[in-house]
Structure formats: structure tokens, C-alpha cells
Amino acid sequence: MSAIEAPTMLAPRRVTDQWTVLPSWLPVPGLGALPINSFLLKGREPVLVDTGLGALGDQFVAALESEIDPGDLRWIWLSHMDADHIGNLGQVLERAPHAKVVTNFLGMGKMNLAGIDVSRVHLLDPGARLEVAGRTLVPLRPPYYDAPETIGFFDTGERVFFAADSFGALLPEPVDGTEEVADETLREGLLGWSSIDAPWLTSVDRDTLGRTLKSIERLNPDIVLSGHLPLARKGVGQLTHHVAGAYCRGASSVVDPLAIEHIEAAFA
């Protein structure tokens, strides 16, 4: 695959026995391309995780309908309310009359403020889990994010970790999996994306972030699903290694030009 010039929906790909990715890519001029992924869990109670870029509209719906009759959807899990995650929510809700929208209190509040119908919300209280056809989606807060309502999960059924915006990467061109990307290119992509999406990482407590990343490693997911990363089939270690290397050891290699400390120094 080569570089892209417009938002592009790619063919869905099977990830595990039950999980499928609905991948798309967004060109980012001067920086490459960013994956925008939604995910589908098939089975007795199908779950759609996020609803893609609004700009893709009918293409997104066609990709979804190529995998499942949306009328069978039981759950729509919204990681958070950013436009690249709820872009086609209205269209999907119309086609999925039996689906409930899974979010938390702040997520529901933001839906309400945006004028989105909240009558079909299934509210996840703190600590609550979602039982789905014999497996449990255990909600968790990913190590970094750009909206406080963000909820990822660990799927106990197939040991799949959904990290929402975490571990996203800006890459030179679309690829199917991280194994196709050179390690240094992946590192640069991860740090480029994190510096844009979570600039506060430069000022977090390093030990706390390090413990969070270690916890993810001990969770030892077989597959990492990120809204903004090609499939990471080799587990989470390569990703946590690069993030820890940038933000947890010594002086951060990522500079935030808007940090108050820099501004203050300029005027001192």
C-alpha cells in the first residue's frame, strides 16, 4: 500500500475468532497517515466498538454491513466522544434498533450536550463490567487519552486489550499490522501521536506511568486493539517499551513547546 490523499476505508479484517477490525486511514499532511479503527465482536451478542469517521459515512456502513446485519447488533461501545470515534453513530443507531450504547456518566453527558439521543444508553457505573455472551469486557482506563470519559477494556474471552486512543501511531503509509513497520518507525509514530493526543504525558509522574505500563504487560494481552494503530499481534511489550522509554526514564525525549516551564524560562 502507498501513501493516501483522502480518508480511506479498507476492507474489514478478522483479528481473532470473534473480533474483526473495520480499518480506515486519515492522511495527516506532512506527518503521514493515522489509522482510525472500529472493531466488531461477533457471536450471540454482537458488539461494535466505536463508529468511525463521519467523513466515511456510507463507506463505513457498507463495511459494517459486509460483516454483519446491523439489526443484530446488541451493543455499541463508545470509547469516548471524539468525532473520529462517534462519526457514524446516528447512521448505526438507525440501522441497529436493538443495540444499546455503552458509555459512562461523562460520556452520556457529552452525548446529551451534542444533542445525541441518550435513551438507549447502557450506563457503565465505576467498577461495572459488561457481560457479553459468556465473556466479560472489563472496562479500564488506558494509560493515556485525550478525553476523560475514555474507557478501554480487557476481553476475558480472547485476551484482547482495547486501548482506545492509547498506542496510536502516525505512520508513513497504511499497513495491516505493526510487524510490517520498522521498530524505529513505529517508535517515532507512537511518540508523534502521543505528543499530539496526550501532551500532558511529559508532565505525569514517571513512576506512576511506569507502573501502569507494567500492569498492562502483566495483563499480557494476546492482541492489542487501538483506535489508531494497525493490528499489534506481537503483544503489548514493544508498545509499552517505546512509551516508557520516552516518558518514564530520565529527561523525556518528547518536548512540549507549550509547557509553562518553557514559557517561564523564556521570560525569566
Residue nearer to Fe ion on the CB measure, 18 or 37: 37
How far is the C-alpha of 58 from the C-alpha of 63, rounded, in Å? Answer: 9
User: CB of 63: closest distance to Fe ion in angstroms?
Assistant: 18
Residue nearer to Fe ion on the CB measure, 150 or 202: 150
Residue nearer to Fe ion on the CB measure, 82 or 188: 82
168-180: buried (b, 16+ CB within 10 Å) or exposed (e) per residue? bbbbeebbeebee
Residue nearer to Fe ion on the CB measure, 67 or 146: 146
Residue among 47, 79, 64 at smallest CA distance from 226: 79
Instruction: Report the interface residues with Fe ion, using CB under 5 A.
Output: 82, 84, 146, 165, 227
- Say how many C-beta atoms besides its own lie within 10 A of residue 148's C-beta: 11
Question: Cβ contacts of residue 183 below 8 Å, gap of 6+?
Answer: 238
How far is the C-alpha of 85 from the C-alpha of 111, rounded, in Å? Answer: 12
Residue nearer to Fe ion on the CB measure, 18 or 191: 191
Residue among 182, 184, 193 at smallest CA distance from 229: 193
User: CB of 87: closest distance to Fe ion in angstroms?
Assistant: 10
Which residues are registered as beta bridge partners of 97?
A: none
Residue nearer to Fe ion on the CB measure, 142 or 210: 142
User: CB of 189: closest distance to Fe ion in angstroms?
Assistant: 15
User: CB of 227: closest distance to Fe ion in angstroms?
Assistant: 5
Joined together, the cell numbers standing for residue 121 give 444508553
Residue nearer to Fe ion on the CB measure, 53 or 74: 53
How far is the C-alpha of 64 from the C-alpha of 259, rounded, in Å? Answer: 42
DSSP 99: P
User: CB of 109: closest distance to Fe ion in angstroms?
Assistant: 16
User: CB of 164: closest distance to Fe ion in angstroms?
Assistant: 7
State the number of CA atoms in the 13 A half-sphere of 138 facing the CB.
10
Angle at 257 between CA 206 and CA 144, to 5 degrees: 40
User: CB of 207: closest distance to Fe ion in angstroms?
Assistant: 26
Joined together, the cell numbers standing for residue 245 give 522509554
How far is the C-alpha of 23 from the C-alpha of 67, rounded, in Å? Answer: 13
